[in-house]
Every structure is written in C-alpha cells, then in structure tokens.
Amino acid sequence: MLRILISYRREDSAGHAGRLYDLLVDRFGEGVFMDIDTIPPGADFVEAIRNAVAQADVVIALIGRQWLTVTSGSGQRRIDDPDDFVRIEIATALERGIRVVPVLVQDATMPNPRDLPDAMAGLARRNAFQLHDTRFRRDTTTLIQALEISQGAPATPKAAPRIALRSIWRSPWAIGASLLLLVAIGIGMRGWPIWKALTGGVLTATREPQPTVLPRPPAAISVPTPATPPAPTARVLFDDDFRSQRQWMTGVRGCANTRYTNEGYVFRNVASSPNQFCWISLHTTSGKSSLYFNGPITAQLSVRLVRGDESGGYGLIFGTLNERSDSPFYVFQISASGEHKLSYFNNGWTDLSPWNSDGVIRHGYGAANNLAVEIQGSAIQTIVNGRGVGSAQAQSEVRGYVGILLTQPGMEAVFSSLRVLGHPSSP
C-alpha cells in the first residue's frame, strides 16, 4: 500500500486538498496523510516534519495560483522562510529521494526554478499533473492509476470508502449518505424575525465610483489516457482575491461598512435593527449579466470572522433573482462556534439543513475557513475546508446571483477570495 503525503498551503488550496484527501483515502486508506501541524509542545518542529515526510513513498505538492506568492505578516514570501512548513516538506522529500509529484489546481502553472529556493529547485524538473475543478474525481482517478503504475503496483478498482485514523494529523471527515432534508418549519435563522426590507434596500456591489522511510530514486510517472473524453471545462465566471481593490463598493451604504486592506475585503454589518442580516450580491459588481447562473456552478469563498456574535452566521448567499428584499434566495453560513447551516428564504425561512456542529470548521475569531456550494439543477452540496458537510434538494432548479453576508449587526469579517465556476447565462 502506498503511503502518500499531501503538501499544500491553506491560504492557497485548502479546499482542493480536502477533496483530494477524501478520494485518495477511498483507495489507500490510512496510508494518506496531510496537515503536519499538530506537533507536541516542546518538540523540534523541523525534525517532526522531516520524520513524517520520511514515512511517505510519495509526496504530492498541491500547487495553486498563490502557492509561490503567499506572504507572511512582514511581507516576505513564505517559501523564502527556511522554517516554512511547505518548504521543509518538499525540500526534505527531494533530499531523501522520495518521489515528489506536483499537482496543479486552479489552472496554476509550474514555478520557474529561479523563483524557488535552491533546496526546492528540483521540484521544477518534476512532471506535473493537472486537476480540473469540473472533472476533479475523474482526474484524481487517473492520478491514482498513474501513482500505482509508477510504483510497480497494478492499477486496481477503487476500494470501498473507509475512514482513516491518524495520530499527529487531524481526524478526517467521514463521508455520510447524502440527506434530503427539506424541513419546512419556518423557524427562521437562529430565531431571526422575518423581515421584509433591508436598510436602503437589498445591498448590491457596484463598480461605479463610490465613497470609499527509505530513500527511493525518483521515477517518471506515466499517465494513462482516460477511457472517456474529458468533460467540458467550466468558465471562471468571477474570480477576485480582493487585491485589485476595484470590484467592490467601499464606505458606508445601507447596512454595510466596507473597506479594502492588505488582508482582503473587510465587511461589517452596521444595521441598526437587532437580528438584521446584511448581504452584498454580485448582481451589479461587473455590470454584466454573465454573473447570473442558470446551470451547474461552484462558488468558493475564503473568509475569517474578526469580531461580533460567535453564534452569528457568515458565508454565501446565492440564487437571488433580483434586488427586492422579498426575492427568494439561499444562504450557506457557518459560525465562529463551529456550526453550519443551509437555508432558503421565500416569504419565510425553510431550513434545508439545520444548524449542525462539525469539527472541520475552524473555531473562533481570526480562524480562516473555506466555504463552497456546488449546484447541479436543484441539488445543492455544501463544503467547508474541502470536506462535504451536507446536501439538500431544492424544490426547483437553483439559479440567480451570488454574494456574501453577515447575519448579525456588529459582525465583521475579512473576505480574502471569491471564485465562481460554471456556465454563464442570461436572466
């Protein structure tokens, strides 16, 4: 059985790492590891990482578009820090002759050797493998076959799913059966009163001017040709890491006080009424109807709560059809206390998946979380930090616009990226 270590940066590809881990565990079970960051107090973390890497037959270097450029608080590239975890993992594997497989996500490209520290320069000479968001499972199956063939093991059918138990790595999420929960109890969101209007109307963003083990010799990986044609590649409908500082409104408007910082887009709910949530949609962000979806999409959001009610929700709003406050819409939210919820509003609230606790959610203020919703017709899949946390079936096809929200006045969050993949259409 292969022993595989997934090396990745949370700020760059946490969601992809979680999805890849789940699929690899289905095939290789307890031989898959990730997140070498739970190191006992007083232990030498460099030696702990090196010892963990030495247990692997293969190290997968998961590389997204920000893998090379993520910086520390001082502005230095993380990869230039000799104590950077990712640098130690990959440099150790290269030094010990452990196979390193660069796996590219988010349409990333291989780093140039001159952009890498000397200890990592060998990574640029490794043959890379691309994982596409729109055919992630199929591509991962091809990767598994390539890994098995390159290690001299026959490619075998996928094993039944199993749960991997790890010691110094965080416990994996066990994929449960999809639940079709449509509980029309109308209790609202955390007891929120049903309201009909937001201060200043439903808030939308605009681009108009506004106020502000044993060493192994490396071997080439032969990738089998897929038995079926690749699925059509979805377009990137919207992609913002909030560095351009152009896409979103700034200043005070209605229930929102927003600004740009070096950390991302800061959004604070300043509504005057208790329990009034505030949201910003992409309806008019680019001035184009391409941000309207009417078909399969995936919306991915990176965010951290910095202040406010720990039980309050923050996350994604989607399926909004227009700017009226009584327009139907869906909300996928998490809380700083470690819960998640999927709801639908149409002249009253319906919980499609009520509040549930899940250890995959990082708790507390300042904890970064990656949320995603995958929509296929009327089917909705919710994901946190790369792990599926729930699913639901809507009464009809989900279509509309996408946005961000905070559910309680006084809540403030920093949004560091928002990406929407799919096929655009007109309303």
Q: Which residue type, as a one-letter code, is found at position 73?
A: G
Q: What is the mean pLDDT of residues 189-206?
A: 32
Question: What does the pLDDT look like over 109-166, one tens digit per residue?
Answer: 999 888 999 999 999 989 899 998 888 888 999 999 888 877 665 444 444 333 333 3
Q: How far apart are CA 302 and CA 68, in angstroms?
A: 18
Structure tokens at 426: 């007109």
What pLDDT is stored for residue 173 in this prediction? 36
Question: For 237-295, what is each residue's pLDDT tens digit?
Answer: 778 777 666 666 677 878 889 888 878 889 999 988 887 888 887 544 444 434 567 77
Q: Is pLDDT of 169 > 50?
A: no
Task: Return the domain boundaries, the chain.
Answer: 4-150, 204-212+231-424
pLDDT of the residue at 42: 75
First-to-last alpha carbon distance for the chain, in angstroms, is: 51
Distance CA 300, CA 284 (A): 19
Please tell me the distance from the alpha carbon of residue 173 to that of residue 164, in angstroms, as a whole number. Answer: 9
204-212+231-424: CATH, from 2.60.120.560, 3.90.1150.10, 1.10.287.130, 2.120.10.30: 2.60.120.560
Cβ–Cβ < 8 Å for 143, 28: no
Phi-psi region of 185 (alpha: psi -120 to 50; beta: other; left: phi over 0): alpha
pLDDT value for 423? 56
Segment 123-138, tens digit of pLDDT: 998 989 999 888 888 8
Q: How many CB atoms are located within 10 Å of the residue 134 CB?
A: 17
Indicate the length of the chain as a whole number.
427
Tens-place pLDDT, residues 350-379: 999 989 988 889 888 888 899 999 998 889
Task: Please tell me the distance from the alpha carbon of residue 406 to that of residue 135, in angstroms, as a whole number.
Answer: 32
Helix, strand or coil, per DSSP, at residue 119: helix
Can you give the pLDDT at residue 147? 87
Integer Cα distance of 186 and 161 in angstroms: 36
Give CATH superfamily name and number for 4-150.
Toll/interleukin-1 receptor homology (TIR) domain (3.40.50.10140)
215: pLDDT strictly greater than 50: no
Compute CA 186 distance to the chain's CA centroid, rounded to the nearest angstrom.
Answer: 30
Q: Model confidence at 74, in pLDDT bands (50, 70, 90)?
A: confident
Give the whole-angstrom CA distance, residue 369 versus residue 413.
11
Burial class (CB in 10 A: 0-12, 13-18, 19+), 57: middle
Helix (H) or strand (E) holding 21: helix 10-28
pTM: 0.49
The per-residue pLDDT of the chain, averaged, comes to: 75
